[in-house]
Amino acid sequence: MAFGERLTEATRKVGTPLCVGIDPRWESLPLEIRKNKGGATPDSLQAVADAYEEFSLSVLDLVHGFTGVIKPQMAFFEAAGPPGLAALGRVMARARERGYFTILDGKRGDIASTAEAYAQAGLGGALHAGLNFPVWLSDSLTVNPYLGADAVEPFIHEARKVDGGLFILVRTSNPGSGLFQSLECQGETLWQRVARQVGAWGQVDASGLADVGAVVGATQPAELAWMRQNLPAVPLLVPGYGAQGGALEALKPAFGPKGAGAVVNSSRGVLFPFKPEASDWRDKIRQSAAKSACELAGVSGMGAP
Amino acid sequence: MAFGERLTEATRKVGTPLCVGIDPRWESLPLEIRKNKGGATPDSLQAVADAYEEFSLSVLDLVHGFTGVIKPQMAFFEAAGPPGLAALGRVMARARERGYFTILDGKRGDIASTAEAYAQAGLGGALHAGLNFPVWLSDSLTVNPYLGADAVEPFIHEARKVDGGLFILVRTSNPGSGLFQSLECQGETLWQRVARQVGAWGQVDASGLADVGAVVGATQPAELAWMRQNLPAVPLLVPGYGAQGGALEALKPAFGPKGAGAVVNSSRGVLFPFKPEASDWRDKIRQSAAKSACELAGVSGMGAP
């Protein structure tokens, strides 16, 4: 199945455009998990990585049925060093086994054969002597566009080999995202330029969606509306809902007919609705996932999950 | 010692602004190393990672005395998966032991606490429950500016804790780098805007150099001259010399008095001046490093090494 169809199916089968971000943070983890791993304070990077893995695998179970899309944030696994990245590999494998559509959030970007190395590792497995060794095997990656077309194209090339796709940073959710992204550049803003290029890069499949999408923050409702109106085939990855302050109503313009065309990420809002000492953290995650799934089903027009 | 002083010393002690990029690529490695590691074609990611480590550690020995600055490219280690990243950890440790100044080239960029996670991992060791576990411990990182000030500032904050620094992507060396970087934005090009912001972010130390530098490609001589003239305190990381086609003479404008203020990276040119079947690959690497060191000593005005 082509990328757009797979993304659409991943949201339709659970009836909500929710995407759950996997952002493990030591200080927010349940004490119960921290205690199992070398005491409440970790004694090694391995202990941190083990706790991240245990928590992330639990989340994949707890949110099942409430989301079809999972977005692991590479930075937190990288901060736990090589053991953390080994843990990420196991989290990605479990996500595939459980049937999630995956967005590996690394915001990578480099040139030529270097971009190819990131893309192969992220999507299809790296090639060494013509042999393909899978690394992360994600369905899609986030990519930074600043380096230009010859930096993004190796990612597109690798993605198409595996019916995968990309989400290019267009207008990010952080308060200072406008510093460069909102500059007026030859008649339009930089982010609009980038967005049009994203539109030109993508190939649209039977779902009506392209295989090159855009990251546009929930904190930017006017930008979401512009995207949907001008580039209806570009799938949107919308971070910043919930903890980052994006309001539910502001998300409305992101969606096409029947809630298609956008996934809305929540990381902290779903993952950490409890105090570390709480023993009912599993229930809290289930409840927060169900609530986010339901709210987003409503605002997207996709119907109740 | 402050960042600019450390960078200056790293080049002065070998008398050349050469920076050697560590970009292991399976298909370019000496057959001798590939044969030791599971045959000429690897049988696992671990075999790839082992070969990358053996080659990279050899390079650190072979180029010693010809360069003071080493720039490992994370993408190639990431393409060898978690074992590759464990190998990178050992390569970084050896580089420190041998007294190299390190630039970890990951071109990371993300927001708020996510940027902090990358920055801590890259520079100072990640914090978990207030404990600091070193991960890559690089002296400096490359960072992508597209997300804005609140994405770069966590990197600056972490860098200052350890007298480290950053090199922000300004004008990259790839042929298509102008797509966005050269757009005219409110009176100047995007890369000039980014460059001025880089200038504003940095703190200048006794060396006359700031702790926030810029990546400007060797393929862009006019841009190098502009940087040196307008932002004399911003240290430059100049990739693209050699294999990517940047000419030696074109580098001249990058340097301040006595060759200060810029390091010039060569990866393939130094690493792979041999056919994989050559048995004298060690000599070839030593020779190519010596030649690059000498050429760059000349053009920079730093004098012979």
* pLDDT, tens digit (0-9, with 9 covering 90-100), for B179-216: 999 999 999 999 999 999 999 999 999 999 999 999 99
Pick the range with the lowest mean pLDDT from A4-8, A168-172, B245-249: B245-249
Residues in A touching B175 (Cβ below 8 Å): 150
Q: Among A117, A176, A184, whose Cβ lies nearest the Cβ of B150?
A: A176
The answer to whether residues B32 and B279 touch, using CB atoms and an 8 Å cutoff, is yes
DSSP H or E stretch at residue A288: helix A281-300
The answer to whether residues B244 and B173 touch, using CB atoms and an 8 Å cutoff, is yes
pLDDT band for B68, please (50, 70, 90 cuts): very high
| Mean pLDDT to the nearest integer, A135-162 | 96
CB contact under 8 A, B130 and A175: no
User: How many residue contacts between A and B have a Cβ separation below 8 Å?
Assistant: 229
CB contact under 8 A, A75 and B115: yes
Residue B304 has pLDDT above 50, yes or no: no
Residues in B touching A121 (Cβ below 8 Å): 75, 78-79, 81
Q: Could you tell me where the beta strands, DSSP code E, fall in chain A?
A: 18-22, 69-72, 101-108, 126-128, 131-133, 140-143, 165-171, 184-185, 188-189, 212-216, 236-238, 262-266
Interface predicted TM-score (ipTM) over 0.85: yes
For residues A279 and A242, the model is more confident at A279
pLDDT attached to residue B129: 62
Q: A42-67: per-residue pLDDT in tens?
A: 888 999 999 999 999 999 999 999 99
Residue B37 has pLDDT above 80, yes or no: no
The answer to whether residues A56 and A21 touch, using CB atoms and an 8 Å cutoff, is no
Considering B37, B71, B107, B258, which one is annotated as catalytic? B107
Mean pLDDT across chain A, nearest whole number?
94
For residues B268 and A245, the model is more confident at B268
Q: Which of A96, A94, A76 is nearest to A85 (CA)?
A: A76
Nearest CA in chain B to A49: B128
pLDDT attached to residue A38: 66
pLDDT attached to residue A277: 94
Strand order in the sheet with A184-185: A188-189, A184-185, B184-185, B188-189
Q: A235-256: per-residue pLDDT in tens?
A: 999 998 876 666 898 899 999 9
CB contact under 8 A, A190 and B186: no
Q: Among A41, A75, A129, whose Cβ lies nearest the Cβ of B118?
A: A75
| Mean pLDDT to the nearest integer, B264-287 | 96
Residue % of chain A over a pLDDT of 90: 86
CB contact under 8 A, B126 and A79: yes
Mutation site, B92, B179, B197, interface A, largest A CB count within 10 A: B179
Phi first, then psi: what are they for B134, rounded to 5°?
A: -60, 140
Mean pLDDT across chain B, nearest whole number?
93
Nearest CA in chain A to B43: A131
Which tokens sit at A234? Answer: 């570009």
pLDDT attached to residue A81: 94
The answer to whether residues A274 and A30 touch, using CB atoms and an 8 Å cutoff, is yes
What's the rounded Cα separation, in Å, for the pair A230 and A232?
6
Residues in A touching B143 (Cβ below 8 Å): none
CB contact under 8 A, A121 and B185: no
Catalytic residues of A: 107
pLDDT attached to residue A133: 84
| Mean pLDDT to the nearest integer, B238-242 | 89
pLDDT attached to residue B125: 66
pLDDT band for A219, please (50, 70, 90 cuts): confident
Domain spans, chain A: 3-300
Residue B282 has pLDDT above 80, yes or no: yes
What's the rounded Cα separation, in Å, for the pair A187 and A263?
30
| Mean pLDDT to the nearest integer, A145-169 | 96
Which tokens sit at A188? Answer: 């339009």
| CATH number for the domain whose boundaries are A3-300 | 3.20.20.70
Mutation site, A23, A53, A114, A131, interface B, largest B CB count within 10 A: A114
Residues in A touching B144 (Cβ below 8 Å): 107, 109, 144, 146
Q: A105-117: per-residue pLDDT in tens?
A: 999 999 989 999 9
Q: Note the pTM of the prediction, 2 decimals.
A: 0.97
Residues in B touching A149 (Cβ below 8 Å): 176, 179
CB contact under 8 A, B174 and A135: no
pLDDT band for B38, please (50, 70, 90 cuts): low
pLDDT attached to residue A304: 47
CB contact under 8 A, B148 and A48: no
Q: How far is A139 from chain B (nearest CA, A)?
A: 16
Residue B305 has pLDDT above 60, yes or no: no
Nearest CA in chain A to B195: A180
pLDDT band for B303, please (50, 70, 90 cuts): confident
On the 0-12 / 13-18 / 19+ scale of CB atoms within 10 A, A76 is: buried
| Mean pLDDT to the nearest integer, B57-69 | 98
Residue A84 has pLDDT above 90, yes or no: yes
pLDDT attached to residue A203: 98
The answer to whether residues B144 and A148 touch, using CB atoms and an 8 Å cutoff, is no
Please report, as a single letter, which amino acid is at residue B218.
A
